[in-house]
């Protein structure tokens, strides 16, 4: 019996799943494993956390999602179900922690790493993404900005969760790569220094609130040209709201692939976002740095883990950062002009 079979068997016992239960599909996800289950009493999503999940952090996410589910939004959120005979919304079996929610119908656009037309968002979908993000942030403005325990993921960014290595001193020897990569790691330390200076000089002055902090196409379900659901709130906590905008722009514009003309989809996203929220001049000026910061977050996340991910993945992450920084240096003025035009008051 593999891990998913073990968890499904446990879920049948502890949640209201009527047999027979079958695995319909494995759903795309970066940081956990999600499975579409079909039971006699309906369709569900089983979410198995693939990293150590602190109970307090999980409770934070579940409370937030339940709070959102009570608001009149145009999109759904994956509402966790309570365990049978319990007030808990998650369960553990062995080393696995998991939760169960109702299945939400929609299309997941998991196009990360692709630049071909087949995987590109349509302009209408870009507009819908922008509208849903600004609606979500508007709803979350009413939520008290409580920090996430035991750590506030984006409270200190480059030093969150006590990384195993100082970002400003991280070197090839720490991750077991060859000395041929010396220049690459020198570049990372320089970029980390620049981002930390941006954090201390500008980031903290930007508008902050509870944010999703992983708003990208693979965490959305689309249906009939609109966002039907926003998924995966496991990184939600107080942050600069424009960081969500930066992450979304980076993904939909395919900045890691040096795009020739990403401006149409970016413009539509920004027009959608402007339906609810107007970025401030300070947020617009900070956007190039915020996009670079959003690109560095996977590195920051990896350095917080008890065991670093493989060195090849870290090298690829730094190379993506280099590509995006190069692109940004060439198109900085055009990006700022687009934002200023869209959010002109």
The per-residue DSSP string of 262-323 comes to -HHHHHHHHHHHTTT----HHHHHHHHHHHHHHHHHHHHHHHTSSSPPPHHHHHHHHHHHHH
Under DSSP, the state recorded for 15 is: S
232: left (phi over 0), alpha (psi -120 to 50) or beta: left
Query: Which pLDDT does position 50 carry in this prediction?
Result: 64
Query: Between 331 and 299, where is the model more confident?
Result: 331
Which domains are delineated in the chain? 3-102 (3.30.200.20), 117-342 (3.90.1200.10)
Half-sphere exposure of 23 (CA within 13 A, CB side): 17
> Token digits for 239?
């942050």
At 14-59, the pLDDT tens digits run: 998 999 999 999 887 767 889 999 999 999 999 998 666 677 778 8
| Model pTM score | 0.89
Residue 109, helix vs strand vs coil: coil
Angle between helices 55-69 and 123-140 (to 10 degrees): 100
At 262-320, the pLDDT tens digits run: 999 999 999 999 999 999 999 999 999 999 999 988 777 776 666 656 677 788 888 99
Query: Which pLDDT does position 180 carry in this prediction?
Result: 64
Cα separation, 229 vs 17, whole angstroms: 23
Under DSSP, the state recorded for 139 is: H
């Amino acid at each position: 019996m593999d891990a998913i079979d073990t968890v499904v068997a446990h879920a049948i016992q502890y949640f209201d799943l009527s047999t027979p239960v079958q695995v319909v599909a494995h759903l795309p996800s970066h940081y956990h494993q999600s499975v579409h289950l079909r039971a006699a009493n309906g369709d569900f999503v089983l979410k198995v956390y693939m990293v150590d999940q602190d109970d307090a952090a999980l409770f934070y996410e579940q409370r937030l999602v339940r709070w959102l589910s009570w608001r009149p939004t145009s999109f759904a959120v994956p509402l966790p179900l309570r365990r049978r005979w319990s007030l808990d919304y998650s369960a553990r079996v062995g080393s696995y922690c998991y939760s169960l929610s109702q299945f939400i119908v929609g299309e997941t656009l998991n196009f990360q790493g692709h630049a071909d037309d087949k995987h590109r968002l349509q302009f209408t979908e870009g507009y819908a993404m922008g509208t849903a993000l600004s609606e979500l942030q508007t709803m979350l403005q009413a939520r008290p900005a409580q920090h996430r325990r035991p750590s506030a993921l984006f409270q200190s960014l480059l030093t969150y969760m006590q990384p195993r290595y100082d970002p400003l001193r991280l070197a090839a020897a720490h991750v077991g790569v060859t000395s041929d990569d010396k220049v690459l790691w020198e570049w990372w330390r320089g970029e980390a220094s620049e981002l930390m200076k941006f954090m201390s000089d500008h980031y903290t002055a930007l508008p902050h609130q509870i944010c999703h902090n992983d708003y990208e196409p693979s965490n959305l379900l689309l249906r009939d040209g609109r966002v039907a659901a926003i998924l995966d709130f496991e990184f939600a906590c107080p942050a600069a709201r424009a960081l969500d905008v930066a992450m979304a722009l980076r993904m939909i514009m395919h900045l890691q692939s040096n795009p020739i003309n990403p401006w149409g989809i970016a413009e539509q996203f920004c027009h959608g976002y402007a339906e609810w929220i107007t970025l401030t001049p300070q947020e617009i000026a900070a956007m190039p740095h915020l996009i670079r910061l959003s690109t560095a977050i996977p590195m920051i996340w990896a350095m917080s883990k008890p065991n670093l991910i493989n060195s090849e993945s870290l090298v690829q992450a730094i190379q993506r950062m280099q590509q995006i920084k190069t692109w940004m240096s060439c198109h900085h003025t055009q990006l700022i002009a687009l934002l200023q035009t869209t959010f002109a008051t």
